[in-house]
């Protein structure tokens, strides 16, 4: 868990579930960005590729789960995320790895499939290499179970925890914006 990263002013996409669950009393302000009007939790409405209304260097932490692959212009979206992070701020991101295209409100927006390598290269375009930590989670059993629609409770923790880079089911990125140099 990266709960220590979720502190200060936090921006999360869609809802503040992880901010509340893992940030608890470390969070001084919780903001939510949603792409369309009508989300009662949203403090910002807009698209990460066109988000001049979101203040620069405002957030200690941004949580972006299962979202960036839905944005065609990932580079611009990542540039916005970098801009809105405070110096020393942490960006926590997840991507699907091995996956079906999900039938949901966002299924038609699915643009990209990433690997741990492509995620690393993407984030290292903006963040210093030493500030980017990428992990791949999954294995052949977890991938098959996921694609078959099995619940995680149907596998043991040991089966879920085993990692095989050839079967990347979930990719996580932790990227830290450099502190201002004096």
pLDDT tens digits for the chain (182 residues)?
Answer: 689 999 999 999 999 999 999 998 999 999 999 998 988 999 999 999 999 999 999 999 999 999 999 999 999 999 999 999 999 999 999 999 988 776 666 557 778 889 999 999 999 999 999 999 999 999 999 999 999 989 989 999 999 999 999 999 999 999 999 997 65
pLDDT of residue 109: 79
3-class SS string, the chain: CCHHHCCEEEEEECCCHHHHHHHHHHEEEEEEEECCCCCCCCCEECECCECCCCCCCCEEEEEEECCHHHCCCHHHHHHHHHHHEEEEEEEEEEEECCCCCCCCCCHHHCCCCCCHHHHHHHHCCCCCHHHEEEEEECCHHHHHHHHHCCCHHHCCHHHHHCCCCCCCCEEEEEEECCCCCC
pLDDT of residue 180: 75
Report, at the CATH architecture level, how domain 3-176 is classified.
3-Layer(aba) Sandwich (3.40)
pLDDT of residue 63: 97
């Amino acid at each position: 868990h990266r709960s220590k990263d979720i502190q200060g002013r936090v921006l999360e996409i869609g809802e503040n579930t992880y901010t509340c669950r893992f940030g608890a009393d470390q969070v001084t302000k919780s903001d939510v960005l949603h792409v369309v009007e009508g989300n009662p939790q949203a403090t910002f409405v807009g698209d990460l590729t066109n988000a001049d209304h979101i203040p620069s260097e405002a957030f200690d932490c941004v949580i972006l789960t299962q979202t960036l692959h839905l944005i065609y212009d990932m580079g611009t979206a990542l540039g916005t995320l970098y801009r809105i992070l405070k110096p020393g701020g942490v960006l926590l991101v997840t991507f699907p790895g091995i996956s079906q295209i999900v039938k949901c409100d966002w299924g038609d927006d699915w643009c990209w499939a990433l690997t741990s390598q492509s995620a690393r290269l993407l984030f290292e375009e903006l963040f210093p290499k030493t500030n980017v930590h990428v992990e791949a989670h999954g294995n052949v059993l977890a991938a098959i179970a996921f694609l078959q629609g099995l619940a995680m409770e149907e596998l043991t923790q040991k089966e879920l925890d085993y990692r095989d880079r050839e079967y990347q089911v979930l990719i996580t990125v932790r990227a830290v914006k450099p502190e201002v140099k004096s």
